[in-house]
Chain A
Amino acid sequence: MSADPQDVGVRVRSLLAAAGLPAGERETAGLVAAYAVQRPSVDALFEVPDTADARPVLLREVVVPRD
């Protein structure tokens, strides 16, 4: 399902504003275009079948106190 281009523009502008990033119109247009291209690939990550039981590789410094 492809998102309405106008919705994508609103969404991107909203996310940039929420992050406090004052992108100008030309740059925002570029980010909107990139988002429209890349979002399906990002969404597809949730469909990778073998991830059902996968744990993320997140860095944690685990320190075990010495006895």
Chain B
Amino acid sequence: MSAPMPQPLTLSETALALRAGTVTSVGLTEAAIAAADRHDGALGVYLARFDERARAAALRADEELARGLDRGPLHGIPFGVKDTIAVADGPTTAQSLVHDRAWWAGRDAPVVARLRAAGAVITGKTTAMEFGCGLPEEDEPFPFPRNPWRPDLWAGGSSSGSASGVAAGFFTAALGGDTGGSIRMPAAFCGVSGLLPTFGRVPGAGCVPLAYSLDRVGPLARGARDCAAVLSVIAGGRGGGGESAGGGAGRGGGAFFGGRAGGGGTAGRGGGTTGSGGGVSDRRGGAAGKGGRGAADGLEVPFAEPWFGGDLAGLRVGVAWAHHFPADGDPALPGVFDAAVSVLTGLGADAVEVRLPYWRELITTVLVTAAAEGLAHHRAELSRRWDDYGVAARGFLAAGALVSGADYVQAQRVRAVAQRAVDALFADADADVDVIVCPTASIGAPPFDVLADAAGHQDHAGVFGLVHTPYWNALANPVLAVPMGVTGTGLPLSLQIAGPVADEATVLRVGDAFQERTDWHRRAPDPAGYAARASGGPAGTAQEVRA
């Protein structure tokens, strides 16, 4: 039996070490580059690397800290950015042969600009499923996103490289995008933490859309506290140079989900007063309850990191068992989930079973919405360049042609009703929970050969049906995925912690408390497991863009 892997530092700990002088940004960045040099061929983390620019940024970060200029917790921290998000250092490909390389060329998306302004070191662009809806395909010239825990398995997606890169130490944190689980699913399969922020919390300008009313941008890192640090930098719609992820100028949540709750509904923009098709005709929608948590503040108020530490006394945790434990789920999952809930109750929380309303219906609404909105974005190009799209991506998008206008509108009506029902779980006297917990997936990372159906499309009746992230994309609520244990074969399993709209603070506090008592988020895969593996398949390798 090999010796246990040394535990990596979290972002928060790295930030402290930088200030204590025990590490430097240059040292962190060189280590990150060295890890990529050694292992990226095996893992397929990067689509593009910016080594020289990262070195220059790291040097600048160290110089600034040395002269007393401290830009905050991300100062000097190496980051990866999903290649659906514009970074000035190189083109955005969305892991597609079709996507226009001139799109946002030479510009940073607002979220990236905010990272840079906070002193972060951008190391490169990470692998993604094509437009967020494809699959790894051997005849496509892109790296295969392999799982650092077992490289014959998938890293998850679509923020594949952002998750596997954190797990393998290519960078300390990353940005991803999540339309149906694309942050939380790879975070789960790779054993790191990932946050789906409240809809509209983070600007989405400069991010290649998949489905406008579902897309969100968020962080991946080792711990909940790390995700909070990143969110504190990237949150806020204003000043972002464009619309929020899935919404307009920081009012997105409100525009979709009911006025003030999502932060919209402010007089003048975001609806709330329109009455005729404006986003906010029904003020019950999206209300966060509990004395107006979120409802009173909305997203116009900058996200403030919660107070971390202490116990969870008085907190009510809703435990969602139903739908998450199918017969073909991993046998270890029930015990691991039970143990995770016990950790929370051991911290003083009260657990109460809840049933997530409109479960099947909301999953259907996500399929309908993503396909319809995705096809709206792609149809012209898809009809002209069908063969340049991957089989899985074009199959996903083509499904939008099978959805009628009435189907789409009805899906949005069901989303409105379901949002109210979920809000009620957080507000009703019967339930009155502060957070809801459930497994992120019923399985550990799957092999590549089960991802597609006979046509080469995502197999929603198979493995994707065992991933329990899409439900929350139909809603506006924030959800954190944290590692909670392992399968019988040692693969990471993950816990979702969902909270009221705009209440990331509670979600992150619960995640952090859990991680104070567990070390699943600190566990790192042994590089010996993937060091000897050559790049899988005929996939391409990351390009280095030199300054």
B interface residues, tally (CB under 8 Å)? 63
The answer to whether B399 and A42 touch across the interface, beta carbons within 8 angstroms, is no
The answer to whether A29 and B269 touch across the interface, beta carbons within 8 angstroms, is no
B379 at the binding interface (Cβ < 8 Å): yes
A1 at the binding interface (Cβ < 8 Å): no
A58 at the binding interface (Cβ < 8 Å): yes
Contacts of A42 in B (CB 8 A): 364, 368, 403, 407, 411
CA distance A42 to B410 in the complex (A): 9
B213 at the binding interface (Cβ < 8 Å): yes
The answer to whether A16 and B410 touch across the interface, beta carbons within 8 angstroms, is no
Q: Return the CB mask of B367-379 against A: 1 if under 8 Å, else 0.
A: 1100000010001
Q: Which residue of A22, A57, A63, A64 has the most chain B CB atoms within 10 A of its CB atom?
A: A57
B255 at the binding interface (Cβ < 8 Å): yes
The answer to whether B213 and A57 touch across the interface, beta carbons within 8 angstroms, is yes
Q: Which residue of B360, B364, B367, B454 has the most chain A CB atoms within 10 A of its CB atom?
A: B364
**Which of chain A's residues 12-34 have a Cβ closer than 8 Å to chain B?**
12, 15-16, 18-23, 26-27, 29-31, 33-34
The answer to whether B255 and A45 touch across the interface, beta carbons within 8 angstroms, is no
The answer to whether A31 and B399 touch across the interface, beta carbons within 8 angstroms, is yes
The answer to whether B398 and A21 touch across the interface, beta carbons within 8 angstroms, is yes
The answer to whether B274 and A45 touch across the interface, beta carbons within 8 angstroms, is no
Q: Which of A31, A44, A59, A63 contacts B212 (CB 8 A)?
A: A59
The answer to whether A55 and B281 touch across the interface, beta carbons within 8 angstroms, is yes
Q: Which of A19, A31, A37, A62 contacts B271 (CB 8 A)?
A: A62
A41 at the binding interface (Cβ < 8 Å): yes
B248 at the binding interface (Cβ < 8 Å): yes
B469 at the binding interface (Cβ < 8 Å): no
Q: CB-nearest residue of chain A relative to B409?
A: A56
CB distance from B180 to the nearest CB of A (A): 14
What is the interface of chain A mostly: helix, strand, loop, or mixed? helix
Q: CB-nearest residue of chain A relative to B476?
A: A57
The answer to whether A31 and B213 touch across the interface, beta carbons within 8 angstroms, is no
Q: Which of B252, B269, B413 contacts A54 (CB 8 A)?
A: B413
What is the interface of chain B mostly: helix, strand, loop, or mixed? helix
The answer to whether A27 and B367 touch across the interface, beta carbons within 8 angstroms, is no
CA distance A22 to B382 in the complex (A): 9
Q: Which of A26, A58, A64 contacts B268 (CB 8 A)?
A: A64
A interface residues, tally (CB under 8 Å)? 38
Q: CB-nearest residue of chain B relative to A38?
A: B367
Contacts of A57 in B (CB 8 A): 213, 256-258, 279, 285, 412, 415-416, 419
Contacts of B453 in A (CB 8 A): 30, 33-34
| Given contacts A45-B414, A54-B417, A22 and B386 within 8 Å (CB-CB) | yes
CA distance A49 to B454 in the complex (A): 36
CB distance from A17 to the nearest CB of B (A): 9
| Given contacts A48-B361, A61-B248, A61-B269, A21 and B455 within 8 Å (CB-CB) | no
The answer to whether B281 and A30 touch across the interface, beta carbons within 8 angstroms, is no
Q: CB-nearest residue of chain A relative to B452?
A: A30
The answer to whether A12 and B402 touch across the interface, beta carbons within 8 angstroms, is yes
Contacts of A45 in B (CB 8 A): 361, 364-365, 368, 407, 410-411, 414
**Which of chain B's residues 7-51 have a Cβ closer than 8 Å to chain A?**
none
CA distance A18 to B398 in the complex (A): 11
CB distance from B459 to the nearest CB of A (A): 10
The answer to whether B394 and A34 touch across the interface, beta carbons within 8 angstroms, is no
Contacts of B278 in A (CB 8 A): 60, 62
The answer to whether A34 and B361 touch across the interface, beta carbons within 8 angstroms, is no
Q: Return the CB mask of B389-414 against A: 1 if under 8 Å, else 0.
A: 00100110011111100110111111
CB distance from B230 to the nearest CB of A (A): 26
CA distance A33 to B400 in the complex (A): 15
Contacts of A44 in B (CB 8 A): 360-361, 364
Other contacts beyond A30-B454, A55-B277: 19, CB < 8 A: A22-B383, A26-B454, A29-B454, A31-B455, A37-B461, A38-B364, A41-B361, A46-B406, A56-B412, A57-B415, A58-B277, A58-B279, A60-B255, A60-B277, A60-B278, A61-B269, A62-B269, A63-B269, A64-B269
- Sample 12 A-B pairs with CB under 8 A, ordered by A number: A19-B379, A19-B383, A19-B401, A30-B454, A38-B364, A44-B364, A45-B410, A59-B255, A60-B279, A62-B270, A62-B273, A64-B273
Residues of B within 8 A of A (CB): 212-213, 247-248, 252, 255-258, 267-271, 273-274, 277-279, 281-282, 285, 358, 360-361, 364-365, 367-368, 375, 379, 382-383, 386, 391, 394-395, 398-403, 406-407, 409-417, 419, 421, 453-457, 460-461
Residues of A within 8 A of B (CB): 12, 15-16, 18-23, 26-27, 29-31, 33-35, 37-38, 41-42, 44-46, 48, 50-51, 54-64
